[in-house]
Amino acid sequence: MQNFAALFGDNSTLPEYLTQVMSALRFFRLSDALDILLVTFLLYQLIKLLRDTRAVQLAKGILLIAAVYGATVAMKMNVSGFFFGRVWDSAIVVIFLIFQPEIRHAVESMGRTPRSGLLRMFSRRSVQDQQRKTARRAAIAAAKAAANMSEQKIGALMVFERQTLLGDVAQTGTLIEARLSAQLLSNIFYPKAPLHDGAVIIRGEVLYAAGCVLPLTENQSLPGSYGMRHRAALGISEQSDAVVLVVSEETGNISLARGGTLQTELTESLLREELTSALDWNSNENPDLGGYAARRWREFWSAN
């Protein structure tokens, strides 16, 4: 503070706000800075959780209950205030129940991180490289299985989870949690298999769940040739950032849905390229299927 005084002269000549800041800094401790950083980090993670999951609507409901509770207290509505007060007292438990799939996914990710790789968590390049390899391996397995099922006209519906977690959708089916492979996908979608009618949820390189029920699209302008699988694929792609692979049981055509749009008549090589690009979201924050036409053109020329 003496240095500031020597620089500016008497403290009385300093702006009032600067004098207040200098006074506050005299009592500022390192623990205060760590406290602020910790709270900021927790708030950031909470906002990210709400933004990246489909539970955001439930979170809005909790905020609505909080607002109603505050209004009943302010207006001295004793009976309503007592009721909403009891609900609010249980808010922490309710929040953990609502976000149970997301919390479990976060804890599992921490548990799967080897101690030798803790330092690599802070390396963006390492994370990107690992994500790219994971996307590539998942795309190869899914494309190979889709091509085999397309030849045999076996219907399939694969949902590739991205940043929006789909734990609530996975709960409608059967948890598998097995390493993804073309053979496993083919076995699940075999016509006589018990889980072949539903969708599979793929999380990274893990086939997380099978036999899942997906929401149908509300788009009324779709062609009549689109069956239930295609409508379910469009439905979940409208409500999340998932990429959905569909194999038609009637025609054997392979399609890819994302953001409420459907790309059809994909070959194995095109599908592998599209999936790798879409799932590698670290290298492209908003990956899309925009290169679809260019890739089709390149494949046409290479085939001719």
Identify whether residues 101 and 186 lie together within a single domain: no
Query: For 207, which DSSP code?
Result: E
DSSP 53: B
For 224-259, what is each residue's pLDDT tens digit?
778 899 999 999 999 888 999 999 999 999 999 998
**How many domains does the structure of the chain reveal?**
2
Tokens found for residue 115: 């101690």
**In-domain check, residue 294:** yes
Name the pairing type of β-strands 243-247 and 206-212: unpaired
DSSP 60: H
| pLDDT for residue 181 is more than 60 | yes
- Please check whether residue 212 lies inside any domain of the structure: yes
Same domain (yes/no): 296, 164: yes
Note if the pTM is more than 0.75.
Answer: no
Residue 255 near residue 230, CB atoms below 8 Å: yes
Task: Reply yes or no on whether the pLDDT at 37 is more than 80.
Answer: yes
pLDDT tens digit sequence for 74-83: 888 888 878 8
Helix (H, G, I), strand (E, B) or coil at 287: coil
Q: What is the pLDDT of residues 122-161, one digit of tens each?
A: 455 566 677 788 889 999 999 999 999 999 999 999 999 9
Residues 94 and 143 in one domain: no
Residue type, 95: I
d(CA 237, CA 255): 13
Q: Is residue 172 part of a domain?
A: yes
Q: Are residues 79 and 210 in the same domain?
A: no
Q: Which residue has the tokens 């689109």?
A: 226
Other beta carbons within 10 angstroms of residue 248's beta carbon come to: 21
Tens digits of per-residue pLDDT, 256-285?
A: 999 899 999 899 999 999 999 888 755 444
Beta strands, E only, 66-188: 156-161, 174-179
**In this prediction, what percent of the chain has a pLDDT beyond 70?**
69
Could you tell me the residue range of the domain that residue 271 belongs to?
Answer: 130-303
The SS3 of residue 277 is helix
Phi, psi angles (nearest 5°) of residue 255: -130, 160
CATH of the domain at 194: 3.40.1700.10
231 and 202 share one domain: yes
Looking at the chain, which runs of residues are DSSP E strands?
Answer: 156-161, 174-179, 199-203, 206-212, 243-247, 254-258, 261-263
122 located within any domain: no
Whether residues 14 and 87 fall in one domain: yes
